[in-house]
Copies of this chain bind each other. A is one copy, B any other.
Amino acid sequence: MRGFRTDLAMESIGDGSGGIEGVQVSQQQMGEISRTRIVIESRRAAEALSRPRGEYITLACDSLSRCDTDNRKRLVQLIAQGVRAMLPKDGEILVVGLGNRNVTADALGTRVVERMLVTRHLREAMAEEMQGKLRGVSAIAPGVLGLTGIETAELCRGLIGHVQPAAVIAIDALAAYESARICTTVQITDTGIEPGSGVGNHRLGLTYDTLGVKVIAVGVPMVVYASTIARDAMTRLMDEYGLMEDQHSPAAELLFRQISESFLGDMVVTPREIDEMVLSVADLLSDGLNRALQPALDEEMLHTYLHG
């Protein structure tokens, strides 16, 4: 699978059947939802997979945007659990929505931030009793470098100095290797956002190293790069024709590259209904995150705070 671009740890490890040294994989099936937990433990495994050491929770189902009420409730709960387990027990949280709000497939982060229950500014005005129940949350979708002239990581650093959160939750639209992953998979990881990942290709990452606080990243694949589709089709064809050993020949690589480059870097594959799907997935993620951040509020109270 070399050469293919994916932001999902689950796709990096392949079908995992053989097992990779230094990588723990465990899987559970809950109704129609599968939950996979991958822990990359050793530096060597991290290097082999080009992915930082840490924990990766992957939730998958047939469709995140069109599941029935029961599966949706289960997904919200599983997202909440996954995030809560990675959160520091106390302290304020800063939610950062990455990506470009003007690019449909890249707007997921912004759309989630719009749906967060923001409480940081309310806490002072609250009764002491309530203060203890409500976690301080701030949220921002600062916009991409091309629109602001400022790297998101730089901007967050300034903000973190001021807000002093115990952790950052970063939301991003991801690129996958398989088109079947689009809007069907949630990845939650304590490794933050890596440079070069996301639909919009962040130049700097958002990690403990760059921000100085823990960064929990939550993402959903929204695109597959068009070059990946082409490369994949060719690989399958070569397999079919018994040309496997040829796949890494200079001639095949040249052809691969010619075709990939003819699609340029910014051609992406999405479902035709991606506009609607992004909003629906943002609803799902924000429900899970608000639940994770405010365990003392029940569904009704969360709804009242958000819309009431």
Chain A residues at the B interface, C-beta cutoff of 8 Å: 65-66, 68-69, 102-106, 114, 118-122, 136-143, 145-151, 154-155, 157-159, 161-163, 179-180, 199-200, 223, 226, 229-234, 236-238, 240-241, 243, 251, 255, 259, 262-264, 266-276, 280, 300, 303-304, 307-308
User: Which chain B residue has the least Cβ–Cβ distance from A156?
Assistant: B158
Contact B240 A105 (CB under 8 A): no
Q: Which residues of chain B are within 8 angstroms of A179 by Cβ–Cβ distance?
A: 226, 262-263, 267
Decide if A147 touches B139 in the complex (CB within 8 Å): yes
Point out the residue from B137, B240, B263 that lies within 8 Å of A251, measured CB to CB.
B240
Choice from B140, B145, B304 contacting A142 with Cβ under 8 Å: B140
Question: A48 CB to closest chain B CB, in angstroms?
Answer: 28
Residues on B with C-beta less than 8 A from A270 are 267-268, 270
Q: Given the complex of chains A and B, what is the CA–CA distance between A238 and B114 in angstroms?
A: 47
Copies in the complex: 4
Question: Do residues B267 and A271 form an inter-chain contact, with CB atoms below 8 A?
Answer: yes
Q: Which residues of chain B are within 8 angstroms of A300 by Cβ–Cβ distance?
A: 68-69
What are 23 of the A-B contact pairs (CB < 8 Å)? A66-B307, A103-B272, A104-B275, A105-B272, A106-B272, A119-B149, A120-B150, A121-B145, A121-B146, A121-B150, A140-B143, A142-B142, A150-B162, A155-B159, A179-B226, A179-B263, A179-B267, A223-B272, A229-B230, A230-B230, A234-B234, A240-B255, A268-B271
What residues of B have a CB within 8 angstroms of the CB of A271 in the complex?
Answer: 264, 266-268
Name which of A122, A145, A273, A275 has the most chain B CB atoms within 10 A of its CB.
A275
CA distance A120 to B146 in the complex (A): 9
Given known contacts A118-B147, A149-B121, A149-B137, A272 and B280 CB-to-CB distance under 8 angstroms: no
Instruction: Enumerate chain B residues within 8 angstroms of A68, measured Cβ to Cβ.
Output: 300, 304, 308
Query: A149, B118: Cβ atoms under 8 Å?
Result: yes
A284 to chain B minimum Cβ distance, whole angstroms, is 12
Complex Cα gap A200–B162 (Å): 23
Besides A139-B148, A237-B238, A269-B269, 16 more A-B contacts (Cβ < 8 Å) are A65-B307, A66-B307, A68-B308, A102-B275, A102-B276, A114-B147, A121-B146, A140-B150, A140-B155, A161-B161, A179-B262, A230-B232, A231-B233, A240-B255, A263-B269, A264-B271
